[in-house]
Structure 1
Amino acid sequence: MARRLRSVGLEFAESAPLRLVFAREVSASPEAVYRALADDIADWPEWFTAVTLCRPTDDGKGREVRLKGGTRFWETVVAADPAQRYAYRVDESNAPGLRALLEEWRLTPAGTGTRVQWTFAADGAAPFRFALKLGRAGLGRAFRDAVTALDRRLAAANA
């Protein structure tokens, strides 16, 4: 059953009780990465294998996301700065123990490509925080695999 989470703003990316930050450089431009993140939302399952569905809601101001294993998120986009940042907070979820969640994708030019940084900022009950800390390596691997797959996808589209 979905529960309403605490509403947080962009500052939560820096102040959350639990912050997991991952970064990777890709060959695609910041503009191309941004379009894939913010404009081509329905394509997320093609490159982020943990995602089974991602669709815009509320005329693009929100998203519905489903993950493997049955976790669902109803989100609000809180930052959409082309070629720089894309961020969303989770408003409702069926994830047990989760109280607040904000994800931020920062894009920085790096040579001819982009440095992609993903911040997973969360708050939850003690067992949730403990499980997330234990799962840090898995989240990092999922991020690396997803960004690598996205970079390949963008390169193929431009070939």
Structure 2
Amino acid sequence: MELTISRQINAPLDKVWNIVGPNYTAAGDWASSVYVSGARPGTPKIANAPAAGRVCETSLGPFTETIEAYDDARHMVSYSATGAKMPGFMKGLRNTWHLTPSGSGTKASMTLRADIAFPMNILMGWMMKMQFKKALNETIDDLKVYAETGRRGRRGACRRFPQLREHPRRHLRRDVMIRPGATRARGTPRSRGQTDAHHHPPSLLVADSQPRPSDGDRPPCQHARLHRGNRR
């Protein structure tokens, strides 16, 4: 499977290339799906590459990348990626950035190549293609915003949970159970016997300090519901 997404960026070619090329390891500074990134230890395969690769903590889990091609003159960088949560039928992922001058700005292109094993390439190929397309569009839009304004793209998780900007992983614990009487955030699932920590950071689960009203304090409509329930 191969997908290519392009954008016109209103910024000089050298400025955009500096973001995706020489500063390749700093994707966490601008990509909304990357919480933090850094250089991968090791000797680069390509002599003039800025690093051997990159390690990223992302919204899809940790990924390790290896630079497979790097051409400063052509403004092109290509890297393969492996992730701890990648399914077994995903045999390989490779992404390539290629920048060219376009008027007074830059045309940025991303090409993703995914090697999906048979028969999943047929059974799930169409769905994965839609997901990949969405991810590529978000990433290249983040690059456009950062190159043109110097501002980071809005982080996917932090759009709903601003506290994740400080330390995203600290809030993603899965061992927090909802206590009896806890107040759920709006939109939180209400399935019984399950934790909401799988869906929402526990910092949004606020203990209810208000005592429950007695029957005499309830509004008439609640009285009616209670009495109807008692008669059943």
Q: Which residue of 1 aligns with 2:134?
A: 138
Structure showing greater Rg = 2
Taking the aligned partners of 2:65 and 2:25, their CA distance within structure 1 comes to: 14
Quote the RMSD (CA, aligned, Å): 2.2
Tell whether 2:100 aligns with 1:108.
yes
Cα distance, 1:49 vs structure 2 = 0.2
Q: Which residue of 1 aligns with 2:80?
A: 89
Q: Which residue of 1 aligns with 2:33?
A: 50
* Deviating 4+ runs (over 4 angstroms): none
Taking the aligned partners of 2:145 and 2:124, their CA distance within structure 1 comes to: 28
**Counterpart selection for 2:125 from 126, 129, 135:** 129
Letter paired with 1:99: K
Letter paired with 1:76: T
Q: Is this contact kept in 2: 1:47–1:153, CA < 8 A?
A: no
Tell whether 2:57 aligns with 1:66.
yes
Q: Is this contact kept in 1: 2:32–2:139, CA < 8 A?
A: no
Letter paired with 1:48: A
Letter paired with 2:106: T
- Per-residue deviation, residues 78-137 of structure 1 (Å, max 9, x unmatched): 2221252011112x3221132111100000000111100000111124155343223244
| Partner secondary structure for residue 117 of structure 1 | strand
| Partner secondary structure for residue 39 of structure 1 | coil
Cα 1:36–1:132 change in 2 (3 A) is same
Letter paired with 1:65: C
Q: Which residue of 2 aligns with 1:15?
A: none
135-144 or 58-67: bigger deviation: 135-144
Taking the aligned partners of 2:79 and 2:60, their CA distance within structure 1 comes to: 21
Instruction: Give ranges in structure 1 of 5+ residues lacking alignment.
Output: 1-17
Q: Is this contact kept in 1: 2:95–2:110, CA < 8 A?
A: yes
Cα distance, 1:24 vs structure 2 = 0.2
What TM-score, normalized to structure 1? 0.74
Taking the aligned partners of 1:144 and 1:63, their CA distance within structure 2 comes to: 18
| Partner secondary structure for residue 135 of structure 1 | helix
Taking the aligned partners of 2:132 and 2:148, their CA distance within structure 1 comes to: 24
Taking the aligned partners of 2:110 and 2:70, their CA distance within structure 1 comes to: 14
| Partner secondary structure for residue 21 of structure 2 | helix
